[in-house]
Structure 1
Amino acid sequence: MSISPAKENILKKIRQALSHPVPVPFPHSEGNSSVFQPPVDDMAVQFAQEFTKLQGRFTFCADEQDMADQLLQLAATRKWDKVVCREKKLIDIFRQQKLAINFHNNLADSDVSLTTCELLVSRTGTMVLSTANESGRTTSVYAPVHVCIAYTSQLVYDLKDALLALREKYNGQLPSFISFATGPSRTADIEKTLVVGVHGPKEVFVFLIEG
């Protein structure tokens, strides 16, 4: 098939351009380095800052006794009478600390749910949750308020670090469901009107325990 002179002229110019490539004017801006800041020294502080920016409520606890005391005070202030907790580890801690909480079985009409988490991501202020926890899928999203109990040892810097840690923890056999929750549930309409609590809890608390 013959090629028209106009098309041959275009192809000739393309070949010439390819044989004499133009050097990249700004080689350091071509995505060779990370766009994120390097990890900070205190990931607990960074997590608290990022988490509260997104309307999360953060409390630092010196130990489990301190956590129990602050949680009991919060429950009394908020008048939480129906508290759902499905994790034996947390219930044992509350009993050891003699925390007088009225545990409730029905998630549908609960005031608040208490769970642990897999990890906390400091760079984004994110909780990493999975079905490997006794709470399952619904406990952290169904109640109007979610309280997450975590330890400083669960802090990682970035989402990539969280995924690598989970893969190592479960020997490559990841849980069937992993969620990344950053603050309370929120959405916006076409006019950018923000609505909180549409697809999940209206309030999210993180009690971070040193350890």
Structure 2
Amino acid sequence: MSLFKRLLNPNYKSEEKAKRAEKADHSTYYPEQKLPIDEKFTYNFKNNGGKFIYCENWEEVTEAFDNIMIENDWYEQDVFCVNEMLSTKFDGFNLNFTKKSDSKFFLSTCESLVSNNGSILLSSNQIKEKKLNELPANFVIFATTSQIVDSISEGLRIIKNQSSGYIPSNITTIQDFETEKEKDFMSYGSSTKNLYLLLLEDL
């Protein structure tokens, strides 16, 4: 525990005693339990304020997308989307696919889903050269379970391996999805997004 937490936490001593007692219950050789990366991502993503929708097939993806449209009254609205696969897949939803920053929401794929902090890794493949604060406040991200990685460095390694000589620019992460939460001094300057994740099982 850091010095700041010790100073600010009056229950520090009692908490430390409880932790030592808990450790004593385990053997020295008992392995530390680790969550699978998919569970860890889900926990951290929701903890960041993201809205997570798990889908087993494409039919469930379209149903979930339809529910998002209804919930937010986004039908017949401009949608920022540069991905032709997504604009084709969701062509029957009466949306106007465009590249205008003032669109109602941003529809995109991503590079990776980062487990250890629940963030979404994006690059110029998804957002071109735009900054996060230049994109709509509402995101709908489509991803697959095979895109979950443990760390940002692993996600960057995948981008490099898949680049075939061309490494995309403007690589960034977003992990602040609670638009209504009160900002602390650590989160000023970050770009908060109202984010839905449609996660398709492909493993």
Under a length normalisation based on structure 2, what TM-score does the superposition of the two structures give?
Answer: 0.70
Contact 1:39–1:157 under 8 Å retained in 2: no
Contact 1:61–1:210 under 8 Å retained in 2: yes
For the pair 1:128 / 2:121, whether they are aligned, the reply is yes
Cα drift, residue 169 of structure 1: 1.3
Q: Which amino acid aligns with 2:176?
A: G
1:1-12 → structure 2 map (5 Å cutoff): none
Aligned to 1:101: 94
Q: Which amino acid aligns with 2:90?
A: F
Q: Which amino acid aligns with 1:65?
A: E
Aligned to 1:49: 43
Aligned to 1:138: 130
Distance 1:151 1:189 in 2: 32
Which of these residues, 47, 55, 58, is aligned with residue 52 of structure 2?
Answer: 58
Q: Which amino acid aligns with 2:152?
A: L
Question: Alpha-carbon deviations, 1:104-138, whole Å to 9, x = none?
Answer: 426343211101001111121111111133x4243
Distance 1:68 1:122 in 2: 25
Cα drift, residue 184 of structure 1: 2.5
Under a length normalisation based on structure 1, what TM-score does the superposition of the two structures give?
Answer: 0.67
Contact 1:166–1:174 under 8 Å retained in 2: yes
Aligned to 2:196: 205
**What's the C-alpha RMSD, in Å, of the aligned pairs?**
2.8
Contact 1:125–1:182 under 8 Å retained in 2: yes
The number of equivalent residue pairs is 166
Cα drift, residue 40 of structure 1: 3.6
Structure 1 unmatched ranges of 5 or more: 1-36
Contact 1:124–1:182 under 8 Å retained in 2: yes
Aligned to 1:115: 108
Aligned to 2:149: 156
Which of these residues, 149, 160, 166, is aligned with residue 159 of structure 2?
Answer: 166
For the pair 1:89 / 2:85, whether they are aligned, the reply is yes
Query: Cα distance 1:39–1:179, how it changes in 2: closer, same or farther (>3 A)?
Result: farther
Contact 1:51–1:183 under 8 Å retained in 2: no
Q: Which amino acid aligns with 1:111?
A: K
Between Structure 1 and Structure 2, whose CA radius of gyration is higher?
1
Query: Cα distance 1:151–1:205, how it changes in 2: closer, same or farther (>3 A)?
Result: same
For the pair 1:67 / 2:58, whether they are aligned, the reply is no
For the pair 1:176 / 2:169, whether they are aligned, the reply is yes
Distance 1:123 1:167 in 2: 20
Q: Which amino acid aligns with 1:51?
A: F
Distance 2:85 2:48 in 1: 28
Distance 1:129 1:75 in 2: 23
Question: SS at the partner of 1:132?
Answer: helix
